Amino acid sequence: MDDWFFRQGGRDRIINWLGIDSKINSVLTETWVLIVDKWNAAESFFARFQLTGWRRLVNELLSETVSIATAAFVVLYAAALPALLEFDESKFLTGKFAVKFLDANGNELGKRGILHNDAVPLNEIPDHLIKATLATEDRRFFEHYGVDFLGTARALATNIQANDVVQGGSTLTQQLAKNLFLSSERSIERKIKELFLSFLLESRYSKEEILKLYFDRAYMGGGAFGVEAASFYYFGKSVREVNMAEAALMAGLFKAPTKFAPHVNLAASRARTNEVLDNMVEAGFYTSGQVHSARLQPAKTIDHSTTASPDWFLDFAFDEIQRLAEGKNEYVLTARTTIDMSLQRKADEAVQATLRKEGRAHGIGSAAMVVTETDGAVRAVVGGPDYGDSQFNRATKAKRQPGSSFKIYVYAAALENGYKPETIVRDASRSCGRWSPSNYGGGGGSGARMPLWLALAKSYNTVAAELSFAVGRDKVIELTNRLGVAGVTKSCSMALGDGGVTVMDHVGGVATFANGGRLARPFAILDITTSKGDLLYSRERDEPPAPQIVKRQVAEQMNQMMQKVVTDGTGTRAALDFTHAAGKTGTSTGPKDAWFVGFTGKYVAGVWLGNDDNRPMRGGSSGVTGGQFAAPLWHAFMTVAHTDMNIPTIPGLEPHPVQIAEQQRAAEQKAAEIAAGISQPDVANADGTPQRPQSILPDRTRDALKVLSAALRKAGTIGTLPVTPAKATVPASPTSLPTSPTTSAPATPGLPLPPGNTAPDVAPNAADDRRATLAPVGKRRANSIADPSEDRLGGN
C-alpha cells in the first residue's frame, strides 16, 4: 500500500490500539472464567451442607431466633441504659445527716435525715405493719422479681371494670426505685426506667433489704420520711409500739400521704384505714374477727392542726446542709434558716389558688415558685402542687425552657457591651444557618425602628436574636455563668430561651439586678450548730461579702427596662399600685412553660407554670402565656407579701409615691422620738450603712449569756427568747437620693441608625442603695387579655 501514512512510518510511531483492546478482552475473559470456576467450586462445597425437610425448618427457626435475640438485646440495652445511668448508690445514704431546722427566731420547722444506728431493724417492725403494707401495696412481693406482671394485669382489668384508677400495678420495688432515683412525672420513659431499676434493685439486694429501704425512705406526710419518723409524728411513739389500728393507718399513707393524713382529712384517713383492714383479711393474713377491734378502736393521733411543715424549703435547705457540712465529721445538726413562714403560707396559697382556678380549663397541671430577698436569702419555696403526691422539687431540680424571660441576660450582655436603653434597634434579624427568628404570631419582623427598652417590653424575638449575634453568644453565656444560671448552651435560638434553667437559678440571676449588681446566689442556711452546741457554720462569719459582678450602671439600666415590661409591655398584669415592680414574662413553644420573674425593692420572685410530662397547655384564642397566667400569680402573691410600705427603692428607679410618704412619716416619727429623748439619732458608718448601737454588756458577758440561753433551750426549760426588732434606717428626705450622671446613647453596634437619626440621651436616676434592715420579729402565727407581642420559645 502506497500512502503517506505508511511511507512516513506512522504506524510504528503511534499507540497500538489494537493490541490494547486485545489485552483488555483477554483479561476480562480470564477473570470471568476464574469467577465462574470459584463460584461453582463454592456451590459444590456448600452443597454438602444443604438441608432439606425438617432439618431446614429447624435451621431457619434457629437462625431467625438468633437474629431476633440480637436485635432484642440491642433494643433492651438502649432502653436500659438511661435507667442504669440513674442508678446511684449514694442515694441510699441520704440519711447520713440528722438535721433539725429552725426559723430565724429559733422556732422548729421540721427535720430531715435519719441516723442509721437509730433506724429500727426490720425484725423489730411489728408484723401487723408489714402485713398491712404487703396486703395493700404488693401482696406478691416475695414471689416476683421486681415487676409483678400478673398483678399488673389484674390491676388493669379492675381499673377497666371500674372505669377509674382504683388499683395500682406498681410493686414495692418499683415504688422504691421511683422514690430513690426518679421524679413522679407520668411518662413512658419514666416507667421504662422504673422497670429496669426494679430489676437492678432485685439483683443487688435481698427482699428483706428492699422492704427495709422502702420503710425507711417512703414519705409519710407531715415532713416525715420512714415509718419510725411517721410513728413519732402521728402517735408520739416508736414504730415498735404501734398497734394494728395504727399500723393500718400508716400503711394507708404510702399511696397518698397528704390526701389520707389524719391531720389533713380525718374522714378520708378513717376510710382508708378500713380499706387497709379489708385488704389484710382478703390477703388471708388475718381473719375478720382479728381486725374487728381495730375497726372499733381507731388510731388516735397527735393534733397537728396548727402546724404546717415547709417541706419544699426543707428539702432545699437539707441539700445545702449536706454541702456545707460535708467532711466536717458532724452529723447531728441544728440549722437556723432564712424562711419566712408567713411568706411561705402566702406563696402556697397563691399557687394553689391559681391551679384551682386555671388548671383544669387550661391544662396546667403543675407549678413552682421561689421567693428571695434581693441578697439571695430564700424566704419561700413551692416545688409543686402537692408534696404528698410527689416530692420532686420543681423549683430546684426541674430545668425548664425559660422562653423570653431569658432575654434579661441577652439585653444585660448588650448593655455591658455599649448599648443603652434608648439605643435604636430594628425589628429584624439575620439568619443562623437554616434557622430564622420569628415573633409571636409569626413573621420575621416588620423592620420598624424602636428604642432598646421597647423591644424588651414588647418581647420581640427578632431583636433579641440579633443582639445575641451582634454582641456574641459566648458573652451571653459568660454573663449567665457569672450570675449563677448554670447549664446554658450555645445555640442559634439561645436568646429565646431554648435551654433549661431552674426557677431557683433564674430567681438568683435576676436578684443580682434587683440589688444593684451584687452576686445573689440563693441560700437557706444562716448558721449550723452541732449536738454539743458548737457553731459549725455561720454565714456571717464564713462567707465573704457578695462581690459586684455587674456594673451598677448596667443593673440600673436593666431595672429601668424591666419596669417598662410591667408598665408598657407584656407584663402589665404584674403591676402593683403601692410600689414599683420590674420583671420579664416568658412562654416556651407549645406552650409548655409559662414564666414571670420579677422583683420589687424588697422581694424577688419567680413563677413557673406547666406540666410534669411536658404536655402543652391549652387556652383560648390567645393561648397560655406568661403574661396571661404567671404574671397574675406573681401579682397576687406580691400584693399580700408586702405588709410594710417602707419598701426600698429599686436601683435605677425613682422612689414610688407611697414609699415617699412612708419615709416622710417614719422620719417625722424618728424626729419626734429623738426630741422626746426616747431614741438617739442614727449614726452612719463610712460606707453609709447604719451603725449598730453599742451594747452596755461586755463581749465576754454577752457570749456567756448566749451559751447559757442555748443550754437552757436545749434542756427545754425555757421557750424562745424574745428578739427586739432592729430599726430600719430611713432617709430623712427622699430628695436626698443620689442621681446618676447623664449618659449618651450611641447607635447600636451592628444595627445602624437611619440617616439623620440620633439616639437621645438617658438620664436615669440611681436608686437609694440603702436597704431596710431585715430583723427577726418574734414568733409568727398562722393566720386583661395577653399582649399580642407575646411569643413562643421566647414568648412574652
- Measured in whole angstroms, the distance separating CA 468 from the mean position of its chain's CA atoms is 26
Q: How far apart are CA 372 and CA 524, in angstroms?
A: 10
pLDDT of residue 690: 54
751, 452 in Cβ contact below 8 A? Answer: no
Task: Compute φ and ψ for 554, nearest 5 degrees.
Answer: -65, -45
CA angle 355, 574, 599 (to 5 degrees): 105
Q: How far apart are CA 514 and CA 498, in angstroms?
A: 24
396, 390 in Cβ contact below 8 A? Answer: no
Q: What is the pTM of this model?
A: 0.67
456, 561 in Cβ contact below 8 A? Answer: yes
Nearest to 767 by CA among 514, 422, 579: 514
Q: Rg of the Cα trace of the chain?
A: 35
Helix axes 227-235, 244-251, angle to 10 degrees: 120
Q: How far apart are CA 98 and CA 115, in angstroms?
A: 6
- Which three cell numbers, joined as nine digits, stand for 547? 462581690
Q: How far is CA 58 from CA 52, 63, 70, 495, 530, in A?
A: 10, 9, 18, 61, 72
- Residue in 231, 309, 404, 405 annotated catalytic: 404
Q: How far apart are CA 114 and CA 217, in angstroms?
A: 10
The separation between the first and the last C-alpha atoms of the chain, rounded to the nearest angstrom, is: 95
Nearest to 147 by CA among 71, 74, 199, 79: 199
Rounded to 10 degrees, the C-alpha dihedral 722/727/728/733 comes to 160
779, 720 in Cβ contact below 8 A? Answer: yes
Per the annotation, the verdict on 404 as an active-site residue is yes
Q: How far apart are CA 728 and CA 772, in angstroms?
A: 5
- Which three cell numbers, joined as nine digits, stand for 20? 490494547
What amino acid occupies position 13? R
pLDDT of residue 673: 82
pLDDT of residue 193: 77
pLDDT of residue 167: 57
Rounded to whole angstroms, the maximal C-alpha distance in the chain is 144
Profile the chain (796 residues) by mean pLDDT over runs of 10 residues: 53 74 90 91 80 80 88 76 64 70 92 66 93 92 84 69 62 84 68 81 89 88 84 92 95 88 88 94 92 91 74 94 90 94 96 94 95 97 90 93 97 97 95 91 85 96 96 97 94 94 97 97 96 93 96 98 97 96 95 97 97 85 83 97 94 94 87 81 58 52 66 54 38 34 37 35 34 33 36 52
CA angle 402, 635, 450 (to 5 degrees): 60
- Residue in 86, 137, 194, 373 annotated catalytic: 137
Cβ-Cβ contacts under 8 Å for 785 (sequence gap 6 or more): 622, 628
3 state SS of 364: coil
